[in-house]
Amino acid sequence: MKLLIIEDEPALSKSIAAYLAGESYLCEFADTFAKALEKIALYSYDCILLDLMLPGGSGLKILEELKRQNKADGVIIISAKNALEDKIQGLQIGADDYLAKPFHLSELTARIHAVIRRKQFGHSNLIKQNELEIDLLAKSVQVKEMPVLLTKKELDLLLYFIGNKNRVISKAALAEHLSGDLADMLDSHDFVYAHIKNLKKKLHEAGCDSYLKTIYGVGYKWEL
């Protein structure tokens, strides 16, 4: 899958590429407005990560250009501006998602996953992984063809883990995923533990292999 990272900070784009390295992603970079315009005109991408403040112009212009060319590339805006109007404007022009800096790479990865999935399969898609099967439309989970009842948050976590498989995810990142913008105000992320414990228990009881590993003192990892 092809990914374009439009970001003027090389340190950040390199981090993103490095994090995604194990997956079947092919990352390309554009660090200026002009380069970005050139790339989107020449190629198609499964997902474009778009910074709004670029040397040479606004990222929103690139988004408009994409829509003008009727491109179906998925777009996730990554911006230092967390202003509501930017978010609304970006989504109105046609971005698929909006992620404010700073973010956890695991969060970004989960969102890239979600965008690509939507683009490729529409909404009626199934995620299969050995004995585990998730129907995203019905929001249901089956293990060995037997349904497992998960709460909304547990399902959310499960998708997050699968989107970040084989990566260590910190508790802070999980807390942020679960409680959104509030996470960095919370001084303890213990509540994450309760949800993970339940998820593990339910999957285990349904006969699912224990893919979810606890990395002591750090976080969790979905190991395949």
Partner 1 sequence: MKQLLNKPLRAFAGYAFLILLCSIPAYYYFMDYIWISELNEHNRIIAEKTKYNLNAIANQDSTLAQTIGLWNKLQPNTDLQPTPTIQPDSIYNLYKQKPHAPNQDIDRFQGLVTYFSIQGQPFRFRVETNVEESYETILTITGVTLVFFIFLVLGFILINKRISARLWQPFYATLQKLRAFSLDKQQSITFDPANIAEFEELNQALSSLIESNLGVYKQQKEFTENASHELQTPIAIVQSKLDLLLQNQNLTQEQSSYIDEANQALARVSRINKNLLLLSKLENVQYARQESINLSELLSDTVLLFADYAEGKNIAINTILEPGVSATGNKVLVEILLTNLILNAIKHNVDHGSIQIKLSPDRLVIANSGTTTLLFDQLFRRFGRASTHTPSTGLGLAIVKEIATKHNWTICYEFQGNWHYFSLILTP
178 sits near partner 1 (criterion: CB under 8 A)? yes
User: What letter represents residue 74's amino acid?
Assistant: G
- Of positions 69, 82, 130, 214, contacts partner 1 by CB under 8 A: 82
- Tell me which DSSP letter residue 139 carries: T
- What is the x/- site pattern for partner 1, positions 138-177, by CB under 8 A? ---------------x-------------xx-xxxx----
Q: In what order do the strands lie in the sheet with 219-222?
A: 168-170, 219-222, 212-215
Bridge partner list, 49: 5, 76
Q: Which is nearer to partner 1, 44 or 166 (CB)?
A: 166
Q: Quote the least distance from Cβ 207 to partner 1, whole Å.
A: 28
Q: Which is nearer to partner 1, 95 or 99 (CB)?
A: 99
User: How far, in Å, are 12, 63, 82, 87 from residue 92 at the CA level?
Assistant: 26, 10, 16, 8
Please report, as residue ranges, which positions from 40 to 79 form the binding site for partner 1 (by CB under 8 A): none
User: What letter represents residue 100's amino acid?
Assistant: A
- Tell me which DSSP letter residue 16 carries: H
- What is the x/- site pattern for partner 1, positions 85-114, by CB under 8 A? x--------------xxxxxxx--------
Q: Which is nearer to partner 1, 125 or 179 (CB)?
A: 179
User: How far, in Å, are 48, 196, 207 from residue 215 at the CA level?
Assistant: 32, 13, 22
User: How far apart are alpha carbons 78 and 73 in whole angstroms?
Assistant: 15
Please report, as residue ranges, which positions from 204 to 223 form the binding site for partner 1 (by CB under 8 A): 215-219
The residue among 88, 31, 36, 30 whose CA lies nearest residue 61 is: 36
Stretch that binds partner 1, among 6-14, 35-43, 113-121, 127-135 (CB under 8 A): 6-14
Site residues (vs partner 1, CB under 8 A): 9, 11-12, 15-16, 18-19, 80-85, 100-106, 153, 167-168, 170-173, 178-179, 181-188, 190-191, 193-195, 215-219
